[in-house]
Amino acid sequence: MKPLQVYKASIRIRVVTLLSLLIVVYVMLFEWRSLFLAHAVQPLVYTAKFIIPILLFIAVPLFYPCSRHFTLFILFFASFMLWGLIPSLFSGYYPETLIQWFKFLPRVLFSLVVGSYFLRRPEASIKAVKWLMVIAVLTAIQYLLLVPTSLFGIAKPVYISGARGVYYGPYGIFGNQSALMSFSNLSVPVLRLTGFWPEPSNASGFLFAVFFLAQAVYIIERKSIWWLISYLSLVCGFLTLSMAGYFAIANATLFGTIVRKKSWKNIIVVAPLAMVSVIVICFAVWGRAFVAEHYYESGGARAIAGVRGGPRAIYLEDPYSGRIGDIAKNVEVWKDNPLGIGFRIPGIDFFEDATGTAPILWLAYTGLIGGVLLCFRELQVLCPALKYSRNSELVRKVSQAWVAMFSQHMLYGDLMSPMYLLLCVLVIGMTFHRGDFAREECPNRSAKSERRPYFLKARAGK
């Protein structure tokens, strides 16, 4: 390779690394939103949220290889936002809904820019996944430091002005423990892995998604470190003790068993895995009520099921802590306002009855038309995932990461976070470039160079 070609290749790799890092930084600004409400960092965070999309827009050309699913994904997303403007303008909460609508609008641009980049530079998607794995490893280290220092009284709760949650350690570096659980029959509190996320549910969706993404990178590069990180993320996901997390990993695993190519050898493995997944899904849905009724005296069972303190009668009457009631209230809001009430701000002093169940939330906000447009957007991810997961283990793993995050958002989320949108365009990009990875899934590989797709080995020198 000529020196000039080497130099150009080096520059190209650095640019890809930098842009993928910017993408992940932007994602984490929203994932760790509770921490970044701190008054000390708010100006920097708002500046970054404004500048990063502009930098990406300037650096990434918006033309991309013809991908029907990506084009339709953006069209349905943009149509959803345009329709959402109508109830927002005519809502009785006009200033609030319009401001909230403008907050969501840049996410269409984010999806367009990142999706275009992943389609043009598939190596960038691998870099972005590796940055996500770094965050998962740091979260695991954070929890390993939190547990002993907290139990021995070394790490104390600290107040961070403006931030939501209870943070431990110097400057709160050991993470948020607002979901900590204590039981009279347990001598120590139950520390749920939360990291800097607002809730363990958010952390679980991220970690279970990284579990599958790390396995996808392992399929490409065959490095043991990615395999280890994948299972570290899996363990950390369960340490969140989140019912939404159980639901997410079980749905993703069940999806993998359904779309997997069937053979007698595979069925022997897949059938038990599918049965376990169904059992875990049932536990995630009805586990709280079951534990509250039969195992209320067991602190361990209550910790696993998320049945916190309080009278047993309360959990028997409402084991889901008002979530079912919120869904019913949002359905009533939609019935009273068929076109939707606009992009309200969920929370105290705003839309207090907002549900955490994404489809019902958007039904209340944007009506049936908005809900249909959102469903069509999701179909642009689901269709290629179903079509190509059967013959590509790599596509299946990335699709399972999306299913895990989607499932978590079905119980606690809004299907609009940059992390979720990143997974959407990642699935579309991976299915589009599936042929570039075909050699990676061939069992007859012999040379190390044969294990790297063209854009990870030869393309830089061409």
How many Å apart are CA 321 and CA 314, to the nearest integer?
Answer: 9
Q: Is 407 contained in some domain? A: yes
Evaluate if residue 172 carries a pLDDT over 60.
yes
How many Å apart are CA 421 and CA 427, to the nearest integer?
Answer: 10
| DSSP-derived 3-state class of residue 311 | coil
DSSP per-residue letters across 224-289: HHHHHHHHHHHHHHHHT--HHHHHHHHHHHHHHHHHSPP-HHHHHHHHHHHHHHHHHHHHHHHHHH
Give buried/exposed letters for 218-228 (b at 16+ CB in 10 A, else e).
bbbbeeeebee
Q: What would the two tokens of residue 5 be?
A: 């070609």
Q: Is 189 contained in some domain? A: no
Contacts of residue 135, defined as CB under 8 A and 6 or more positions apart, other chains included, come to 24, 28, 206, 210
Pair 31, 206: CB distance under 8 Å: yes
How many Å apart are CA 213 and CA 281, to the nearest integer?
Answer: 22
pLDDT tens, position by position, 124-164: 999 999 999 999 999 999 999 999 999 888 988 998 999 99
Least confident of 72-86, 273-287, 290-304, 423-437: 290-304
CA 262 remoteness from chain centre: 29
Q: Is 381 contained in some domain? A: yes
CA 41 remoteness from chain centre: 24
DSSP per-residue letters across 352-391: TT--S-HHHHHHHHHHHHHHHHHHHHHHHHHHHHHHHHTT
Contacts of residue 298, defined as CB under 8 A and 6 or more positions apart, other chains included, come to 185, 291
Sign of torsion over alpha carbons 239, 242, 243, 244: negative
- What pLDDT was estimated at residue 311? 64
Contacts of residue 29, defined as CB under 8 A and 6 or more positions apart, other chains included, come to 36, 45, 48, 49, 52, 418
Mean pLDDT (the chain, rounded): 88
Domains of the chain: total = 1
Evaluate if residue 441 carries a pLDDT over 90.
no
- What pLDDT was estimated at residue 314? 66
Q: Is 163 contained in some domain? A: no
CA 78 remoteness from chain centre: 21
How many Å apart are CA 356 and CA 412, to the nearest integer?
Answer: 5
Residue 296: φ, ψ to 5°: -65, -25
Mean pLDDT, rounded, for 360-382: 96
- Comparing C-alpha atoms, which of 194, 281, 289 is closest to residue 244? 281
The type of residue at 11 is: I
Of residues 225 and 301, which shows the higher confidence score?
225
Q: Which domain holds residue 67?
A: 15-131+243-444+452-461
Residue 344, judged by CB atoms within 10 A of its CB (0-12, 13-18, 19+), counts as buried
Which segment, 65-79, 181-195, 315-329, is predicted with the most confidence on average? 65-79
Q: Is 266 contained in some domain? A: yes
pTM to 2 decimals? 0.90
How many Å apart are CA 125 and CA 113, to the nearest integer?
Answer: 13
pLDDT confidence of 424, banded at 50, 70, 90? very high
Q: Is 140 contained in some domain? A: no
390 forms bridges with which residues in the sheet? Answer: none
Q: Is 210 contained in some domain? A: no
DSSP β-ladder status, 157-158 and 167-168: antiparallel
Q: Is 174 contained in some domain? A: no
Pair 124, 422: CB distance under 8 Å: no
